[in-house]
Amino acid sequence: MDRLWAPWRGVYVVNKSGTECIFCEKLNAGVEKDFENYVLYRGDNVFALLNIYPYNNGHLMVVPNRHVGEIEELKLEEMQELFTVIQLMVRVQRSALSPDGFNVGMNLGKVAGAGIPGHLHIHIVPRWGGDTNFMPVLADVRVIPEGLEATYAKLKQALERIV
C-alpha cells in the first residue's frame, strides 16, 4: 500500500484546540474571519463555506450552525434553510463558474465516508464536461485549476449580485 504523508491536513481532521469541530471553529471565528475561513454565507440556521480540500474547483459545503451529526436530529427550520441555501449556492456557482452540472450530497457516518461525522454537512461540487481525466486514474491526483482565494472572490461577488 502506498502512503502519502500529509501532515498539513491534520488541522482539518483534528482541530488545534481539541474542543470544537472544524465547522464549529469556522462558524465561531466571527464574520471578520470569513475570508480567512472561506465562509461565503451565514444564515440563521446554516452557513456555507468552500471546502479547503476540494474534489473540484468551487466545491463548497452547506453546514448547520448547530453541531449535529445525524440527519434525524435536524429541526424543521434547519432542514428548510439547508435546502434554501443549497439552492442559493447552486445559483451562485452557476453565475460565477458556469458549470455544466453538479454533484450534491452528504456522507452520513464514518463508514459512509464522512470526514467529520459529528457535524452533518452537504457537499455541492460543480462539474464540467471533461473535468474527469487521466490524472486521477493514472496518478491518483486531482488538478484544481484555480486557487481558493480567487474562487472565493468570484463566488462572493456572485452571491452579492444575487442576494
Determine if residue 107 is labeled as part of a ligand binding site: no
Q: For residues 77 and 146, is the Cβ–Cβ distance under 8 A?
A: no
159, 14, 1: which is closest to 91 by C-alpha?
Answer: 159
* CATH code for the domain defined by 13-162: 3.30.428.10
Query: Which pTM was predicted?
Result: 0.82
Degrees, nearest 5: CA angle 129-12-101? 15
Tell me which residue of 53, 55, 36 sits closest to 105, measured CA to CA.
Answer: 55
Cα diameter, the chain: 48
pLDDT in tens, 99-150: 999 999 998 888 888 788 889 999 999 999 877 755 555 555 566 667 899 9
- Clarify whether 119 is annotated catalytic: no
**Is 103 marked as binding a ligand?**
no
Q: Which of 59, 67, 119, 121 is catalytic?
A: 121
pLDDT tens string 32-66: 999 999 999 999 999 999 999 888 899 999 999 99
